[in-house]
């Protein structure tokens, strides 16, 4: 027979615990479960917004940490400290967030508008710009005149101050908050067009940049999958310096890749490997132009094969340290007239370029074009 004392002591436990927890939950403010966001002078922001439903009234604003860490990076940084923003993006913009063509992302911030911070003098500005191809920097932002730069720095400080007023970070990140697009100093207010007239000028984000955000508008219809951002640092009247590339994968993991320490130019490569010939010639007569061999990381005068079709796709290897002004996959039906491949059929990574023809596509020809 069971010990009555034991049986009696167990019954109240099972009944009391859930009700006690429920009572505690009723009295604890939500802020105890999600702490207020923190901002340290010198931090930069990454903002996400959509222009269509769902999520078009919300901004995900993430404190991605010290600008100096990106400025001084010598190897890729995986932004693990920002938590699982992929889950936040999913919750706000849907499971298909990365393929949405209306989703935009950008990075901006100023170390300080009134004191030098971590070697960045007043007024140093950081702002992103969409890349036309991953890893290709593009043209640095230019903000002429120190008074204009100071105005932008003050505007960016308003974004920082606005961030500090929120009371809770998101469910999946201690660095991110969700803002309403109409909140007074939300990320959206700094983005033109239709941002706040106090913070934008004409069509310019933060009053100075033609468009710091990336979306499918430049690279095609595949959503954020291939949308990478250059980070530029503006310290004077000259064009800003390229600090590196932001990319985001399907899980929402953000990576920052600094420029290769010593990117090899075509001229340097050709002097050693192709007798100094132009990029559109074929020094070793193997059917692959010098410029393509340079891009693929081939050296010397050994035979180079054009990549074959494997599993319905063609993949060109891409060397990691090549300085090029542009590259892309082109298609033709007659080998005479060539045009860019549909972006949705091309996947570009730091180490490869892959083309997958659409199903049902008529016979066509394919080439990689590289402009050193």
Q: Which of 212, 243, 194 is nearest to 108 (CA)?
A: 212
Q: Could you tell me if 48 and 104 are in contact, meaning their C-beta atoms sit under 8 angstroms apart?
A: yes
Q: Could you tell me if 192 and 205 are in contact, meaning their C-beta atoms sit under 8 angstroms apart?
A: yes
330 binds Ca ion (CB under 5 A): no
Binding segment toward Ca ion, per CB under 5 A, in 85-93, 196-204, 219-227, 286-294: 286-294
**Cβ-based nearer residue to Ca ion, 84 or 286:** 286
16 burial type by CB count under 10 A (0-12 exposed, 13-18 middle, 19+ buried): exposed
User: Out of 87, 102, 183, 282, which residue is the one contacting Ca ion (CB under 5 A)?
Assistant: 282
270 binds Ca ion (CB under 5 A): no
Question: Strand, helix or coil at 149?
Answer: helix
Residue 275: CB minimum distance to Ca ion, A: 11
Pairing of strands 125-130, 43-50: unpaired
Residues 292-321 as x/- pattern, contact with Ca ion by CB under 5 A: ------------x-----------------
Q: Which of 219, 221, 273 is nearest to 247 (CA)?
A: 219
370 binds Ca ion (CB under 5 A): no
Residue 160: CB minimum distance to Ca ion, A: 52
Residue 362, token pair as written in the block? 């008529």
**Cβ-based nearer residue to Ca ion, 178 or 288:** 288
Residue 318: CB minimum distance to Ca ion, A: 16
Q: Which of 263, 306, 264 is nearest to 282 (CA)?
A: 306
Distance CA 255, CA 81 (A): 11
**Cβ-based nearer residue to Ca ion, 50 or 288:** 288
**Cβ-based nearer residue to Ca ion, 131 or 304:** 304
**Cβ-based nearer residue to Ca ion, 134 or 291:** 291
User: Out of 120, 205, 243, 284, which residue is the one contacting Ca ion (CB under 5 A)?
Assistant: 284
The total number of residues written for the chain in this structure: 372
273 binds Ca ion (CB under 5 A): no
CA neighbours closer than 13 Å in the CB half-sphere of residue 194: 4
Distance CA 319, CA 332 (A): 26
Residue 370: CB minimum distance to Ca ion, A: 13
**Cβ-based nearer residue to Ca ion, 84 or 282:** 282
Residue 67, token pair as written in the block? 């600008």
Neighbours of 31 (CB within 10 A): 10
Question: Strand, helix or coil at 330?
Answer: strand
Distance CA 87, CA 249 (A): 12
Binding segment toward Ca ion, per CB under 5 A, in 20-28, 89-97, 134-142, 287-295: 287-295
Q: Point out the residue whose Cβ comes nearest to Ca ion.
A: 304
**Cβ-based nearer residue to Ca ion, 31 or 271:** 271
Residue 84: CB minimum distance to Ca ion, A: 45
Residue 261: CB minimum distance to Ca ion, A: 26
Residue 292: CB minimum distance to Ca ion, A: 8
User: Out of 50, 107, 288, 341, which residue is the one contacting Ca ion (CB under 5 A)?
Assistant: 288
DSSP 170-210: -SS-SSEEEEETTSTT-GGGGSSSSS-TTT-BTTBBTTTBS
**Cβ-based nearer residue to Ca ion, 183 or 286:** 286
**Cβ-based nearer residue to Ca ion, 299 or 345:** 299
Binding site for Ca ion (CB under 5 A): 282, 284, 286, 288, 304
């Amino acid at each position: 027979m069971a010990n009555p004392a034991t049986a009696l002591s167990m019954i109240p436990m099972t009944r009391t615990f859930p009700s006690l927890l429920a009572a505690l939950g009723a009295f604890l403010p939500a802020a105890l479960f999600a702490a207020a966001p923190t901002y340290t002078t010198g931090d930069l922001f990454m903002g996400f917004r959509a222009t269509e439903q769902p999520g078009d009234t919300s901004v995900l604003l993430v404190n991605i940490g010290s600008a100096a860490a990106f400025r001084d990076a010598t190897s890729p940084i995986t932004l693990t400290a920002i938590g699982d923003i992929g889950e936040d993006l999913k919750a706000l913009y849907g499971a298909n967030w990365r393929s949405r063509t209306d989703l935009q992302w950008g990075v901006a911030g100023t170390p300080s508008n009134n004191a030098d911070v971590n070697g960045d003098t007043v007024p140093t500005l950081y702002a992103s710009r969409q890349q036309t191809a991953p890893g290709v920097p593009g043209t640095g932002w230019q903000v002429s005149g120190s008074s204009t730069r100071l105005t932008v720095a003050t505007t960016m400080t308003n974004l920082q101050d606005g961030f500090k007023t929120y009371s809770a970070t998101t469910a999946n990140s201690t660095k991110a908050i969700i803002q309403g697009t109409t909140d007074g100093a939300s990320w959206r207010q700094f983005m033109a067009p239709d941002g706040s007239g106090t913070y934008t000028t004409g069509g310019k984000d933060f009053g100075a940049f033609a468009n710091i955000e990336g979306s499918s508008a430049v690279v095609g219809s595949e959503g954020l999958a291939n949308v990478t951002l250059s980070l530029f640092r503006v310290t004077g009247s000259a064009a800003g310096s390229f600090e590196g590339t932001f990319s985001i994968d399907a899980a929402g993991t953000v990576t920052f890749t600094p420029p290769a320490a010593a990117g090899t130019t075509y001229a340097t490569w050709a002097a050693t490997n192709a007798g100094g010939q132009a990029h559109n010639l074929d020094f070793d007569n193997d059917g692959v132009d010098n410029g393509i061999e340079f891009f693929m990381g081939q050296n010397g005068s050994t035979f180079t094969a054009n990549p074959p079709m494997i599993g319905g796709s063609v993949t060109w290897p891409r060397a990691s340290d090549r300085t090029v002004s542009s590259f892309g996959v082109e298609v033709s039906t007659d080998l005479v007239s060539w045009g860019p491949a549909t972006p949705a059929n091309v996947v570009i990574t730091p180490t490869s370029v892959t083309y997958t023809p659409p199903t049902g596509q008529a016979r066509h020809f394919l080439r990689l074009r590289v402009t050193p």
